[in-house]
Amino acid sequence: MRIKTRWNNKDKARSIQDIVSALGFSLWRIGQGALLNLENEGFQTDTQLQRMDVMQEFEAFLVHMVDRMAYDRMDDQERAEFITALAHKIADYVQDNTRDILGNGDHRTPFFERLNRRMDEYADFSVVDDEPSFQLLRYFGDRMTEVLGERQQKWVGTQVIDIEAPQAMKTLKRAVASLVPKQQPAA
Protein backbone atom coordinates (compact mmCIF):
# COMPACT_ATOMS: atom_id res chain seq x y z
CA MET A 1 0.00 0.00 0.00
CA ARG A 2 1.29 3.41 -0.94
CA ILE A 3 1.16 6.05 1.76
CA LYS A 4 3.14 9.18 2.50
CA THR A 5 6.22 8.08 4.38
CA ARG A 6 8.50 11.05 3.92
CA TRP A 7 8.47 14.77 3.43
CA ASN A 8 9.59 16.29 0.15
CA ASN A 9 11.69 18.90 1.95
CA LYS A 10 13.22 17.16 4.94
CA ASP A 11 14.73 20.31 6.45
CA LYS A 12 11.48 22.28 6.67
CA ALA A 13 9.86 22.47 10.11
CA ARG A 14 6.39 20.89 10.22
CA SER A 15 3.47 22.04 12.30
CA ILE A 16 1.31 19.60 14.23
CA GLN A 17 -1.42 20.20 11.62
CA ASP A 18 0.97 19.30 8.77
CA ILE A 19 1.90 16.07 10.48
CA VAL A 20 -1.71 15.27 11.39
CA SER A 21 -2.88 15.86 7.84
CA ALA A 22 -0.32 13.47 6.34
CA LEU A 23 -0.62 10.87 9.08
CA GLY A 24 -4.43 11.04 9.21
CA PHE A 25 -4.64 10.31 5.51
CA SER A 26 -2.22 7.41 5.97
CA LEU A 27 -4.30 5.96 8.82
CA TRP A 28 -7.43 6.17 6.70
CA ARG A 29 -5.66 4.40 3.82
CA ILE A 30 -4.38 1.68 6.17
CA GLY A 31 -7.93 1.11 7.42
CA GLN A 32 -9.30 0.97 3.88
CA GLY A 33 -6.64 -1.57 2.94
CA ALA A 34 -7.47 -3.74 5.93
CA LEU A 35 -11.19 -3.60 5.16
CA LEU A 36 -10.56 -4.58 1.55
CA ASN A 37 -8.27 -7.42 2.66
CA LEU A 38 -10.95 -8.71 5.04
CA GLU A 39 -13.56 -8.65 2.30
CA ASN A 40 -11.19 -10.33 -0.18
CA GLU A 41 -10.62 -13.08 2.39
CA GLY A 42 -14.36 -13.74 2.49
CA PHE A 43 -15.37 -11.76 5.56
CA GLN A 44 -18.64 -10.35 4.36
CA THR A 45 -19.98 -6.90 5.10
CA ASP A 46 -23.69 -6.54 4.41
CA THR A 47 -24.08 -2.76 4.31
CA GLN A 48 -22.03 0.38 3.77
CA LEU A 49 -22.76 1.30 7.38
CA GLN A 50 -21.26 -1.98 8.57
CA ARG A 51 -18.16 -1.20 6.48
CA MET A 52 -17.93 2.16 8.29
CA ASP A 53 -18.18 0.37 11.65
CA VAL A 54 -15.24 -1.81 10.62
CA MET A 55 -13.32 1.29 9.55
CA GLN A 56 -14.07 3.07 12.82
CA GLU A 57 -12.85 0.12 14.88
CA PHE A 58 -9.69 -0.08 12.81
CA GLU A 59 -9.12 3.68 13.09
CA ALA A 60 -9.58 3.58 16.87
CA PHE A 61 -6.91 0.88 17.09
CA LEU A 62 -4.54 2.85 14.83
CA VAL A 63 -5.02 6.14 16.71
CA HIS A 64 -4.31 4.32 19.96
CA MET A 65 -1.13 2.83 18.52
CA VAL A 66 0.00 6.25 17.26
CA ASP A 67 -0.59 7.59 20.76
CA ARG A 68 1.63 4.86 22.19
CA MET A 69 4.34 5.58 19.61
CA ALA A 70 4.13 9.33 20.21
CA TYR A 71 4.81 8.80 23.92
CA ASP A 72 8.56 8.61 23.26
CA ARG A 73 8.54 11.25 20.54
CA MET A 74 6.71 14.15 22.22
CA ASP A 75 6.22 15.70 25.62
CA ASP A 76 2.81 15.17 27.26
CA GLN A 77 1.29 18.48 26.18
CA GLU A 78 2.45 18.19 22.57
CA ARG A 79 1.29 14.56 22.43
CA ALA A 80 -2.16 15.47 23.77
CA GLU A 81 -2.49 18.23 21.15
CA PHE A 82 -1.24 15.87 18.42
CA ILE A 83 -3.55 12.96 19.28
CA THR A 84 -6.54 15.28 19.69
CA ALA A 85 -5.87 16.80 16.27
CA LEU A 86 -5.39 13.33 14.76
CA ALA A 87 -8.68 12.15 16.26
CA HIS A 88 -10.43 15.18 14.77
CA LYS A 89 -8.87 14.50 11.37
CA ILE A 90 -10.10 10.89 11.42
CA ALA A 91 -13.50 12.10 12.64
CA ASP A 92 -13.65 14.35 9.56
CA TYR A 93 -13.15 11.29 7.35
CA VAL A 94 -15.82 9.41 9.30
CA GLN A 95 -18.21 12.38 9.01
CA ASP A 96 -17.73 12.72 5.25
CA ASN A 97 -18.03 9.00 4.52
CA THR A 98 -20.96 8.37 6.85
CA ARG A 99 -22.80 11.40 5.46
CA ASP A 100 -22.56 9.73 2.04
CA ILE A 101 -24.34 6.70 3.53
CA LEU A 102 -26.84 8.19 6.01
CA GLY A 103 -27.12 11.79 4.89
CA ASN A 104 -26.57 14.91 6.95
CA GLY A 105 -26.18 14.70 10.70
CA ASP A 106 -23.57 14.49 13.41
CA HIS A 107 -21.53 11.39 12.63
CA ARG A 108 -18.45 12.62 14.53
CA THR A 109 -19.86 12.28 18.04
CA PRO A 110 -20.50 8.51 17.83
CA PHE A 111 -16.96 8.07 16.48
CA PHE A 112 -15.48 10.12 19.34
CA GLU A 113 -17.47 8.06 21.83
CA ARG A 114 -16.15 4.83 20.31
CA LEU A 115 -12.61 6.21 20.14
CA ASN A 116 -12.64 7.37 23.78
CA ARG A 117 -13.99 3.99 24.89
CA ARG A 118 -11.31 2.13 22.93
CA MET A 119 -8.51 4.42 24.11
CA ASP A 120 -9.49 3.63 27.72
CA GLU A 121 -9.85 -0.10 27.04
CA TYR A 122 -6.64 -0.48 25.02
CA ALA A 123 -4.70 1.42 27.70
CA ASP A 124 -5.04 -1.68 29.92
CA PHE A 125 -2.82 -3.69 27.56
CA SER A 126 0.91 -3.52 27.04
CA VAL A 127 2.79 -2.31 24.00
CA VAL A 128 6.50 -3.16 23.75
CA ASP A 129 8.80 -1.58 21.17
CA ASP A 130 5.77 -0.14 19.37
CA GLU A 131 4.24 -3.61 19.00
CA PRO A 132 0.84 -4.36 20.55
CA SER A 133 0.74 -7.30 22.93
CA PHE A 134 -1.16 -10.43 21.99
CA GLN A 135 -3.81 -9.49 24.57
CA LEU A 136 -4.32 -6.10 22.91
CA LEU A 137 -4.56 -7.72 19.49
CA ARG A 138 -7.01 -10.28 20.84
CA TYR A 139 -9.18 -7.52 22.28
CA PHE A 140 -9.04 -5.64 18.97
CA GLY A 141 -9.96 -8.85 17.12
CA ASP A 142 -12.95 -9.28 19.44
CA ARG A 143 -14.14 -5.74 18.62
CA MET A 144 -13.83 -6.48 14.91
CA THR A 145 -15.80 -9.70 15.39
CA GLU A 146 -18.58 -7.70 17.04
CA VAL A 147 -18.95 -5.33 14.10
CA LEU A 148 -18.65 -8.02 11.44
CA GLY A 149 -21.34 -10.17 13.06
CA GLU A 150 -22.05 -13.74 14.01
CA ARG A 151 -21.26 -15.34 10.66
CA GLN A 152 -17.68 -14.14 10.99
CA GLN A 153 -17.05 -15.11 14.62
CA LYS A 154 -15.03 -18.20 13.98
CA TRP A 155 -12.09 -16.71 12.05
CA VAL A 156 -12.11 -12.91 11.95
CA GLY A 157 -10.24 -12.57 15.24
CA THR A 158 -7.50 -14.85 13.95
CA GLN A 159 -7.36 -12.94 10.66
CA VAL A 160 -7.01 -9.65 12.52
CA ILE A 161 -4.39 -10.94 14.97
CA ASP A 162 -2.28 -12.88 12.47
CA ILE A 163 -2.56 -10.83 9.29
CA GLU A 164 -4.40 -7.49 9.30
CA ALA A 165 -2.96 -5.92 12.47
CA PRO A 166 0.67 -6.93 11.72
CA GLN A 167 0.40 -5.58 8.16
CA ALA A 168 -1.18 -2.38 9.45
CA MET A 169 1.48 -2.00 12.15
CA LYS A 170 4.30 -2.43 9.64
CA THR A 171 2.90 0.39 7.48
CA LEU A 172 1.98 2.53 10.49
CA LYS A 173 5.45 2.29 12.04
CA ARG A 174 7.03 3.30 8.76
CA ALA A 175 4.73 6.33 8.50
CA VAL A 176 5.21 7.42 12.12
CA ALA A 177 8.99 6.98 11.96
CA SER A 178 9.28 9.27 8.97
CA LEU A 179 6.46 11.79 9.53
CA VAL A 180 6.50 12.35 13.31
CA PRO A 181 9.70 14.01 14.55
CA LYS A 182 11.49 12.70 17.61
CA GLN A 183 11.55 14.93 20.64
CA GLN A 184 14.72 16.95 20.91
CA PRO A 185 16.68 16.26 24.11
CA ALA A 186 16.69 19.03 26.68
CA ALA A 187 19.82 21.15 26.54
In a domain, 37, yes or no: yes
Q: For residues 37 and 163, is the Cβ–Cβ distance under 8 A?
A: yes
How far is it, in rounded angstroms, from Cα 175 to Cα 13?
17
Task: Confirm whether 66 is domain-assigned.
Answer: yes
Report the C-alpha gap between 132 and 141 in whole angstroms: 12
> Which residues of the chain, if any, have pLDDT below 70?
1-13, 152-153, 183-187
The confidence score (pLDDT) of residue 187 equals: 43
pTM: 0.91
With respect to residue 116, please indicate whether it lies within any of the assigned structural domains: yes
Residue 72's domain comprises: 16-179
Identify whether 2 is part of a domain. no
Q: Is residue 23, in this structure, part of any structural domain at all?
A: yes
pLDDT of res. 10: 62
**pLDDT value at residue 152:** 64
Tell whether 7 is covered by a domain: no
The total of structural domains in the chain comes to 1
Task: State the pLDDT at residue 180.
Answer: 84
